[in-house]
Amino acid sequence: MKSMVIGGIILIIALMAGTYFVAGDAFISDDYINALTFLGAAAIITISTFVVLKYVNQMKNDTASGELADERWDGIGEYKNSVPTGWALAFIGTIIWMFWYMTVGYPVTGFSQIGQWNEETNEYNKKFEQKWVNPSEDTLKAMGQSVYLVQCAPCHGVDAEGINGKAQNLTKRMSKEQVEYVIRNGANNFTQSFPAGMPPMMLQDDKDIADVSAYVANGFKGEQPAAFATCAGCHGETGEGMPMVGPNIKVYDDAIVTAVLKEGKKGLIGQMPSFNERLNETQEKAVATYLRSLGDK
């Protein structure tokens, strides 16, 4: 028993000293995280081997002895033996080591691979922002095409025509069917960008709905229907929208593209999920620029 006590004390001291040695400046390698891992693995293997061998041998040779408690459970009794001193010291020592490691031993101010990655990422983002702070129209278009092909093409198609109606045809702002759907059902997709939303049936007459839908879908070409005056109150006389009131229903301006990317959209075709925080502001603006460059086909 004395040898177990001595072994437990030596093990605790070895773990504390080894951890400090690995985490301290004396360690010759900067990659102490992996060293700590290997040290922990070695300690676990050593402890497990020691415990298994000791108690396998004890089970073979020792016999139970001591005073039995009065309680019985299905004929099974329990001895009133004290906790082995070595177990108690090892348990208390492990708790002491835990608090020491959490408060003193853990290298909170040393090198960290995660910290290094964060520093490199932040540095790269700063360089990116500085490089693209005032990009030209051609630069935005090229960037937008690259982002589109990676993020948008899987649903909208490489040609942006919506893969046979499975997603929005981005070569046109809106189809006649989509405009009519919004007029009849209303829309409240963009609670942050356009919080008021649009109530359903702002136009009651079927002919007015058909005429306005055709006019908007045709890119505001031709004679403007008289009923469009109702729409102009929020979307403007030219359909180019009003900030925080109604979106641009003529072209894909920066505001509507950013709103769709950040908040998603539900409409006639289905629901588009939010892409919030997947693109930065420059990339969102670039996607809008690229979509505008596609034009009507």
Per the annotation, binding residues for heme c are 152, 155-156, 198, 231, 234-235, 272
Give the separation between CA 159 and CA 164, rounded to whole angstroms.
11
R_g of the chain, CA atoms, integer Å: 35
What's phi and psi for 67, nearest 5 deg?
Answer: -90, 130
Helix/strand number for the chain, H first, E second = 12, 2
Give the separation between CA 150 and CA 140, rounded to whole angstroms.
15
Which residues sit in the known binding site?
152, 155-156, 198, 231, 234-235, 272
What's phi and psi for 261, nearest 5 deg?
Answer: -65, -40
- H or E element in which residue 271 lies: strand 271-272
- Cβ contact 286:276 at 8 Å: no
- End-to-end distance of the chain based on CA atoms, in angstroms? 88
Burial per residue of 218-233, b for 16 or more beta-carbon CB atoms within 10 angstroms, e otherwise: eebeeebbebbebbee
The tokens describing 133, both together, are 């702070």
- Cβ contact 242:236 at 8 Å: yes
Sequence-distant (6+) residues with CB within 8 A of 288 are 144, 252, 253, 254, 256, 257, 258
Give the separation between CA 249 and CA 75, rounded to whole angstroms.
83
The tokens describing 71, both together, are 């309680």
Give the separation between CA 111 and CA 222, rounded to whole angstroms.
67
